[in-house]
Every structure is written in structure tokens, then in C-alpha cells.
Amino acid sequence: MDVSKAIASRRSVRNFLDAPVSNEIIGKLLSQACRAPSGGNIQPWRVFILNGSSMTNFLRHIEEHSEPESPEYAIYPPSLKDPYRSSRYKCGEDMYALLDIAREDKVARYAHLDRNFIFFDAPAAIFIYVDRIMGPPQWSDLGMFLQNFMLLAKQEGLDTCAQESWASRPFTVASYINPPPELMLFCGCAIGYGNEEARVNQLVTEREPLENWATFL
């Protein structure tokens, strides 16, 4: 699969088949993904993998610890302005339309959002952490690593969904993973074989046209 095809075919998948993914494959993808560039080659990503029994035990842990907690970082700016706000809104509305969930049906909307916290039934996942001393440049390096991982997964026939929603449960996640205290959670990423029958997986998000965000000087 060439890079263009991997980029064009990758989507965030939010419903997975009950089919396992081996640690060997995940290890291979991670080893390849770490060829991502990073400023000064400091390679700031720190990764924890859930699969098989560690996934089962983690999901039990999450179920048993539902206390509210504060995110370790602001996932979005406090008052997101346009055009970013509209873009975010449209993506959510398109997803709920596919799922036939009305705007006023808050229960169904929250239930769908809650599926984040079972990794959308994916059999495996990674958590990406970063040292607290790192700043925006190193966080952007994490994005390059994550994108490499998701494209390589696509090439392997696997699907993914990056999940910053886990940043709203940092202490519950940490109490299972037990990471060194200097690390903070950036995001999770569900991994598995996407269920093509699931309506939620039919979502194709839009992109702004080039002239809206690129300026040729």
C-alpha cells in the first residue's frame, strides 16, 4: 500500500470486530512508527500497550472506577472559535445523524461517547504518554508518531481510532498502568479490525478546501 492510499483510506473507526490482534503485529507497527521525525531526534513518545488479558483487566478496572476526575490538559481551548468550532460541531452532528441519534437525545449521545471508555470494543489499544517537561514542539512529535502508527496499521489491514477522551481519565488510567510519575497521558488509540457493517464506521469526515488554510506567497 503506498502512502497516498494509506492516508486516503485511514479513518477513525469506532466499532471493531471481535478478532484478536497479536502483540507481535503491534510491536512491529510501533517499531516502524518510531521512524517518525522528532525535533532533535528526542523521540518523546512513551507507549503502553493493552492487549488480551491486560485489556480485559483494564476494562474491568475502568468499570470499577467511575469517579469523575479532571483532565491533565485542556483537550480543546476553552472557547473554540470559528471555523474550528463549526468543524468540530459538524463532525459530531454527522456522526449522530448516521447513528440516528437526535440532538435532544442526550442519553443516547452520552452512551455513544462512553464507548470511548471501552475502546469501542477494540481488542487492543495503546496509550501514548509524554514527559511533563515537554512542550508544544514535542507534543507535535507525538502526532507524527501517532499518524505513522495509524497509517502502518492501515497497511497491515488494521483500523484505529485516536482517543484524546482518555485524557479526561488520567488518574484512573495511571492507577492501572502505573507509569513513572513524570509522564502524562496524551491519548489512547484503539486498534483492531473495523466492522464494516457498523453505521458509525461509514462516517467520512470533511476537510476544508486548500485555499481556506494554505497561503501561497
Ligand X SMILES: Cc1cc2nc3c(=O)[nH]c(=O)nc-3n(C[C@H](O)[C@H](O)[C@H](O)COP(=O)(O)O)c2cc1C
User: Binding residues for ligand X, per CB under 6 A?
Assistant: 11-12, 14, 91, 116, 161-165, 187, 205
> How distant, in Å, are the alpha carbons of 94, 121, 134, 150, 164 from that of 34?
33, 26, 18, 12, 20
- Quick one: 32 or 87, whose CB is closer to ligand X? 87
Residue 14 CB, nearest approach to ligand X (Å): 6
Nearest C-alpha neighbor of 126 from the set 75, 172, 177: 177
- Angstrom distance (rounded) from CA 172 to CA 72: 12
Residue nearest to ligand X (CB): 165
What backbone phi and psi angles, to 5 degrees, belong to 50?
A: -110, 130
Residue 92 CB, nearest approach to ligand X (Å): 9
Residue 24 CB, nearest approach to ligand X (Å): 26
What is the DSSP code (8-state) at residue 41? G
- Quick one: 53 or 80, whose CB is closer to ligand X? 80
Residue 162 CB, nearest approach to ligand X (Å): 4
The 159-163 sheet, strands edge to edge: 46-51, 124-131, 183-192, 159-163
- Quick one: 25 or 151, whose CB is closer to ligand X? 151
- Quick one: 60 or 90, whose CB is closer to ligand X? 90
